Chains A and B, each alone.
Chain A
Amino acid sequence: MSTDEEYEEDELQALSETEGECEDGVLQFSDSLTGEVKPRILLMGLRRSGKSSIQKVVFHKMSPNETLFLESTNKICREDVSSSSFISFQIWDFPGQIDFFDPTFDYEIIFRGTGALIFVIDSQDDYVEALSRLHLTVTRAYTVNPDINFEVFIHKVDGLSDEHKIEKQRDIHKRANDDLNDAGLERIVLSFYLTSIYDHSIFEAFSKVAQKLIPQLPTLENLLNIFISNSGVEKAFLFDVVSKIYIATDSSPVDMQTYELSCDMIDVVMDISSIYGLANSEAALPYDKESTAIIHLNNSTVMYLREVTKFLAMVCFLPKDSFGRKGLIDYNFHCFRKAIEEVFDVRVKVQQNRKLLGQRRWSKLTAANTR
């Protein structure tokens, strides 16, 4: 009967919430603080493919050179980046050697709450084994949750020439899709990205992965379009300042170099603010409501950064002439910021409602069982 099945699902979910059998409640599905159900991003791949380095560089500002000193991961590490980042993701860094048949970890529950599965392939190594692992992982995950976005990072491409990169991508793409076709699973879609922690490609790839998981994306893009057309701005990004992932941009095409320069601007602003901008209290943060930066380039372009929320910043590029009307831009920005607040308010309300519903179901279930 359908209602029984429904309750069974909720029961499993509730079980995982209350039990938390693995270290630090690793199987927890929803955040106890805000009640928000966070999309989960899984980082999987063979041993030494670079998963932990990716996580450290993107979310912990680690310099890529320091990742050489990272030790091998030997247990599942769950990283909650919601407190410092807008992206309320959970990054699950799996040790390379996972055994799907190991009874200690229930992968079904993990996959069920997953929004995106990133499979990291070391492009500098022979990737035959990686491809077979990819196939196994993807097919398993798909049977549990067909809505997962499957993202393949063709990683460590910093040493390769452009031709070589394209060739590898083509080869991996073909082989992976052939494997899926042979298994009769053509409907599974894989996205491929060429990445390296030594340049901005890893941030760009993560930006795209993150954007797919943000339901408000069209609204954010719309707001940015309205803002730039009314302010004489050429390009605007909405950045998560901690990870330098951009979660939205206006509809004009994205130029990689512009994105990179924006990342660099955020670095400069954060670094300088960390040196001079900390209040005397213990809990001082370098990035606050008044955070602003203006950079004049010699080609008559101005870069303008403004705080939007405690996690997000807008970085925009505009010609010097437009910047002359700063008052107008600031007013438009004020309207934009308010609109963003409203968009996110709605999200919190929806999540709270969902949690309430879930709790009601659970209490009904326990009531039914005690009768």
Chain B
Amino acid sequence: LPSIALVLLMGKSGSGKTSMRSIIFANYIARDTRRLGATIDVEHSHVRFLGNLVLNLWDCGGQDTFMENYFTSQRDNIFRNVEVLIYVFDVESRELEKDMHYYQSCLEAILQNSPDAKVFCLVHKMDLVQEDQRDLIFKEREEDLKRLSRPLSCTCFRTSIWDETLYKAWSSIVYQLIPNVQQLETNLRNFAQIIEADEVLLFERATFLVISHYQCKEQRDAHRFEKISNIIKQFKLSCSKLAASFQSMEVRNSNFAAFIDVFTSNTYVMVIMSDPSIPSAATLINIRNARKHFEKLERVDGPKHSLHMRMR
């Protein structure tokens, strides 16, 4: 029997949990999330991730009455066997003390029931903060949260549904849950070196979250992974408005050539070549040949791992 790991997604009502889930997993564009109302009770959804992962998303309302329940009558039930806790804070919240109080209650429950859980804190809705204030405010929150979380350690991200920061946070979180990530990276490196690529990114097919990457030299932009996720996801959604979807893409100028193509049944690959004189056909054939190898990897490895994600 596969072991069931839980991902808890919690936060005060209105902090943005459902919007995030809709954008990452349900193909909403940011503007569409305006239509979402408060989540009442629990919404269940199943998401297949990378073929052998199933996310059971439990999106639970964050209103006070529900929250109180979780810490009292439902406590052991909810906080047991948790592998990852994601807590969402609305950066504009006027009730900072209350937010921290709930967060600490979560941590206490986690410490008692799932002390090995990884904790992620998302400081969300950063777009509502003036650009020149963002770094400062995030740093302050991060310090507070790290302090409050002891003895547990937490990883903090600043996020907004209006830019790529959302993808950075979720990529990092999901990366922790991929069962065979080391093997994947080794294989990716071998592939990249054989085809002489500068960089290779591997994306999960539906969400376009970057799950693995290889680079052979320093690149300018440290935020490029999440930017690319965002860029391609947006384009994917634009295509769907025309009831179409894109299969592959090639972009070049005199300095580079980029190839984005279907890779395995659950992934997309992006290959960056800095020698644009290498004909496209050559790179495309290489990608095609590597597919079979990676497809095999996906099927053979790891126990079937079922992930239950609960949102509170």
Chain A interface residues (CB < 8 Å from chain B): 63, 65-66, 69, 198, 257-258, 260-261, 264-265, 267-269, 271-273, 275-279, 284, 286-299, 301
> Do residues B238 and A298 form an inter-chain contact, with CB atoms below 8 A?
no
> Do residues B238 and A264 form an inter-chain contact, with CB atoms below 8 A?
yes
Chain B interface residues (CB < 8 Å from chain A): 31, 127, 130-131, 162, 199, 219-221, 224, 227-228, 231-232, 234-235, 238-239, 241-256, 258, 272, 276
> Do residues A65 and B238 form an inter-chain contact, with CB atoms below 8 A?
no
Residue in B162, B244, B251, B258 with the greatest tally of chain A CB atoms within 10 Å: B251
Residues of A within 8 A of B31 (CB): 198
Nearest CB of chain B from residue A227's CB, rounded to whole Å? 21
> Do residues A278 and B239 form an inter-chain contact, with CB atoms below 8 A?
no
> Do residues B252 and A293 form an inter-chain contact, with CB atoms below 8 A?
yes
> Do residues A286 and B248 form an inter-chain contact, with CB atoms below 8 A?
no
> Do residues A273 and B234 form an inter-chain contact, with CB atoms below 8 A?
no
What would be 16 A-B contacts, judged by CB atoms less than 8 Å apart? A69-B130, A69-B131, A260-B241, A261-B238, A261-B239, A264-B235, A269-B251, A276-B258, A277-B255, A293-B250, A293-B252, A294-B250, A295-B248, A296-B246, A298-B246, A301-B244
> Do residues A268 and B130 form an inter-chain contact, with CB atoms below 8 A?
no
Kindly list 5 other residue pairs between chains A and B, CB separation below 8 angstroms, not including A292-B250, A293-B252.
A65-B162, A260-B241, A265-B235, A275-B221, A276-B255
> Do residues A260 and B238 form an inter-chain contact, with CB atoms below 8 A?
yes
Residues of B within 8 A of A286 (CB): 253
> Do residues B242 and A278 form an inter-chain contact, with CB atoms below 8 A?
no
Q: Which of B221, B254, B256 contacts A289 (CB 8 A)?
A: B254
> Do residues A268 and B247 form an inter-chain contact, with CB atoms below 8 A?
no
Instruction: Tell me the complex Cα distance, A337–B67, Å.
Output: 64
> Do residues B251 and A293 form an inter-chain contact, with CB atoms below 8 A?
yes
Residues of A within 8 A of B252 (CB): 277, 290-293
> Do residues A273 and B251 form an inter-chain contact, with CB atoms below 8 A?
yes
Nearest CB of chain A from residue B148's CB, rounded to whole Å? 31
> Do residues A290 and B247 form an inter-chain contact, with CB atoms below 8 A?
no
> Do residues B251 and A272 form an inter-chain contact, with CB atoms below 8 A?
yes
Chain A, residue nearest B248 (CB)? A296
Residues of A within 8 A of B221 (CB): 275
Nearest CB of chain B from residue A271's CB, rounded to whole Å? 5
Instruction: Tell me the complex Cα distance, A128–B130, Å.
Output: 34
User: Which 7 A-B pairs give the minimum distances between C-beta atoms?
Assistant: A290-B254, A264-B238, A291-B253, A277-B253, A294-B250, A297-B244, A296-B247
Chain A, residue nearest B198 (CB)? A276
Instruction: Tell me the complex Cα distance, A267–B241, Å.
Output: 16
Nearest CB of chain A from residue B26's CB, rounded to whole Å? 20
Chain B, residue nearest A63 (CB)? B162
Residues of B within 8 A of A63 (CB): 162
> Do residues B235 and A268 form an inter-chain contact, with CB atoms below 8 A?
yes
> Do residues A297 and B258 form an inter-chain contact, with CB atoms below 8 A?
no
Residues of A within 8 A of B248 (CB): 295-296
Residues of B within 8 A of A268 (CB): 231-232, 235, 249, 251
Nearest CB of chain B from residue A225's CB, rounded to whole Å? 24
Instruction: Tell me the complex Cα distance, A291–B252, Å.
Output: 6
